[in-house]
Structure 1
Amino acid sequence: MIASIAASGDTLRWAELGLSPVALDLGFFQLRWYSLAYIAGIIIGWWYLLKLIAKPGAPMARRHADDLVVDATLGILLGGRLGYVLFYKPLEYLNNPIEIVRVWDGGMSFHGGVIGVSLAIILMARKHKLDWLRIHDYVACTIPFGLFFGRLANFVNGELWGRPGDVPWAMVFPRADELARHPSQLYEAGLEGIGLFLLLWYLFWKTEARLHPGKLVGVFLAGYGVARFTVEFFREPDDHLGLLWFQMSMGQLLTIPMLIGGIWLIVTAKGRYEQAKPDRAGAEAAG
């Protein structure tokens, strides 16, 4: 069935979409869509963070957000790259350590980026004596922007394609083979980007979830975990890894701790909120 679809003239082909990984080519300089995706995600995320902290009860001020965007950017780049090296190709990079710095050849891990950003938040919060968990809540609401643009860039690059499928929108990716495959990059953009953003938007602006330390970041972790774990059933596993324990991909295995941690943060958020009530009352009385 799949082979016959790929051989038919009606099959969608990525090559016929006229997409190019390069957004601007000046000969001596190339600007790629993947780089623009990172830039757009960081700038729009910072802009949205300023909107969030403008609401009363924010855990930090504008000056903290401005400092954080620089630290978080380093956390994304360093954590994402080192995460990819450790999680996906440790032996290959151990034999050729110089390849670690060749980020322009691709290879970034979202899970590693999350760890990098989290460390940046904790260090900044300790420096300014702020509530690091509530800062995580606010930052979590901004991450779907980067996920959305990043997955669109993966599609434009014709990389991280899906498994073979017979859905009408399946397409042939030239860097894979002649089989029609799921455009799983777009599935991820929709679930991890748009869907997760709308869920966090509602909880932040329409409920009091932002006042419960850990609830929003817990929703983000659990929501991303469900979305990523689901999409991995449609995404082609990495060639050099394939399917691992219990026929799960590396992406699914790395998502399990996020899912468990997210659920725990959601369940325990109300208790942290109640515990902090006396401290808030004392601070208001002193003020």
Structure 2
Amino acid sequence: MTTPLIVTPPGPGEPAAEAVPAPKKAPRRRRLPRFLGSRFALGFLVVGVLAAIFAPAVAPFDPTEQNLLNRLAEPSLFGGGGEHLLGTDELGRDLLSRAIYGGRVSFMVGFVAATLAGLLGTILGILAGYYRGVLEAVIMRLVDVLTAFPFLIVALSVVAVFGATLPVLITILVFWEWVPFTRLAHAKTLHVVSTDYFRAAVAIGRRGTGILARHVLPNIAGPLIVVWTFVVARAIVIESSLSFLGLGVPPPTATWGQMLSASRGYLDTAWWIPLVPGVAITLVVLSVNIVGDWMSERWDPHGRR
């Protein structure tokens, strides 16, 4: 394709101007790999969540059913005999079924804890940024105090007193994860209340929760949703870590961290036992982070390329 020429007509008494080629447009970056990666990650999460919700209909076996005659069976997916696609563990339980049911716990803890923490942190952050004064000082000092405490010590103390149950685990994560939401909501609210359109809304008589719901929350929702995705991933990792240490949901409920902890003695003889929960945790956390990064780019005009 020939480059178009820009020809300037000569003025009276001037020599004919030379043809100057038009400047070429900068080539646009191809975003297909990032596009496909985010869509694949989102699709994987949707499939994983649906499989966890409908686990009784999807799982091929009972996750707690033991068969010692079929213990340590190799996965049929990798050439092993038998009917277990991902093999069995040291008690003859089907690993695919346990991974699906383990996803139930991880997704529930991740989504519920992140949602409750997001609601609590967002409300406190907006109130601190809007009303300022003593309320702001109290909330932000509480944020600083909670940040100073090590999470593992807090989790050990709460579990020792109330026991290792799913509601207790979710409560611990909510108590810990509302801090980033509060900080972000506080900073964004301070920016919104300093804008001209917010001052105009105040000037025409808008006050209280109405102005917060209509003029503050919609303008800070995008970054908060992005933080929510990363908190989901962190909550899943924390739940798996606590289960690995024996502080999560007790047996016989299947969890990914518990499966990893039980497979430590079979790394050499039955490699598929730690592989299944390890890959599940890695793929879920990686997919959540990819989706969160994509959402961050979509909502941040300075980050778009």
TM-score (norm 1): 0.32
User: Considering only CA atoms, is the larger Rg found in Structure 1 or Structure 2?
Assistant: 2
TM-score (norm 2): 0.31
